[in-house]
Amino acid sequence: MNVLMEFSTYLAVEKGLAPNSVNSYAQDLAKFAAFMEERGKELGSLNKQDIVDYLDTLRDRGSAVSSVCRSMSSIRGVARYMLDQGIIEEDPAENLTSPRKWASLPKALSMEDVRGLLKVKGTNSLALRDICMVELLYSSGLRVSELVGIKVMDFNLESGYVRIMGKGSKERVVPVHERAIESIKLYIAELRPRLMKGRVSDYMFVTARGKPMTRQRFWQALKGYGKAAGVDLSPHTLRHSFATHMLEGGADLRSLQKMLGHSDISTTQIYTKVSLSRAKEVHGKHHPRA
172 SS3 class = strand
User: Per mean pLDDT, which range of 132-141, 198-207, 270-279 is the poorest?
Assistant: 270-279
To the query of whether residue 167 is one of the catalytic residues in this protein, the response is yes
Catalytic residue among 115, 227, 236, 280: 236
Contact criterion met (CB below 8 Å) for 154 and 164: yes
Topology of the domain comprising 111-284: hpI Integrase; Chain A (1.10.443)
Active site residue 262: yes
Contact 27, 65 (CB under 8 A): no
> Which of these is catalytic: 167, 179, 211, 223?
167
Predicted confidence at residue 1, as pLDDT, reads 47
143 noted as active-site residue: yes
pLDDT in tens, 223-258: 889 999 998 888 888 998 999 999 888 889 899 999
Q: Is 92 in contact with 47 (CB distance < 8 Å)?
A: yes
Global pTM value:
0.61
| pLDDT tens, position by position, 174-222 | 999 999 999 999 999 999 999 999 999 999 999 999 999 988 889 888 8
Which of 25, 54, 225, 271 is the catalytic position?
271
- Mean pLDDT estimate for the chain: 86
DSSP annotation of 43 reads: G
Single out the catalytic residue among 48, 239, 240, 245: 239
Domain residue spans of the chain: 3-102, 111-284
How far apart are the C-alpha atoms of 183 and 178, rounded to whole Å? 9
Confidence check: pLDDT of 61 > 80:
no
Mean pLDDT throughout 3-28?
A: 89
Percent of the chain with pLDDT over 70: 89
The whole-angstrom separation of Cα 41 and Cα 43 is 7
Nearest alpha carbon to residue 86 among 144, 146, 6: 6
Is 161 an annotated catalytic residue?
A: no
Cα→Cα distances 258→144, 190, 246, 268, 273, Å: 17, 33, 13, 10, 19
Query: Number of C-alpha atoms within 13 angstroms, CB side, residue 74?
Result: 24
Reported confidence tier of residue 137, pLDDT bands at 50, 70, 90? very high
User: Exactly one of 143, 192, 240, 245 is catalytic; which is it?
Assistant: 143
**Is 227 one of the annotated active-site residues of the chain?**
no
Work out the average pLDDT over 78-103. 81
Nearest to 275 by CA among 251, 238, 249, 248: 248
Q: Is 138 a catalytic residue?
A: no
* Domain at 3-102, CATH homologous superfamily: Tyrosine recombinase, N-terminal domain (1.10.150.130)
